[in-house]
Copies of this chain bind each other. A is one copy, B any other.
């Protein structure tokens, strides 16, 4: 096993987060978030696209249980992944190109697939058990801006 840099370790933790969502692996997801021991019970926070802020492990994990229960299929294609590590905190920004489907009316079928463009800021903390999620904030990309400022006046 080779020694990993902090940036590589954070990238793996970030990928693992989305993989637990793809698998609908609630226990795996729970382990990736900072525990009450690491940071106090109300420390973590989460914003799903279009949602208000959720705070604390109870609220955050309940929201994921609800989302998993209502999602038959979800896949994340991550692009523009940027990682910055400052001592024991890591900040990850990425674009989540999401393909998802809800439960279908007929059993055995997938519901209609929906594509969604979301950007996320994920904050991780270094712990004895590796890098853990402190905050996730995802939001819909509604407008193309930033690259094309010249066209505004």
Contact = CB atoms under 8 A, between A and B. Distances in A.
Contacts of A152: 66, 70
Nearest to A144: B52
A71 interface: no
A141 B82 contact: no
Interface residues of A, number: 48
Contact of A53 (B93, B135, B149): B93
B51 A146 contact: yes
16 contacts: A39-B84, A40-B84, A42-B84, A43-B84, A43-B91, A45-B84, A49-B142, A51-B145, A52-B95, A53-B82, A86-B88, A89-B123, A121-B135, A123-B135, A140-B140, A140-B142
Interface of A: 39-40, 42-43, 45, 47-55, 59, 62-63, 66, 70, 80, 82, 84, 86-89, 91, 93-95, 119, 121, 123, 125, 134-135, 137-146, 149, 152
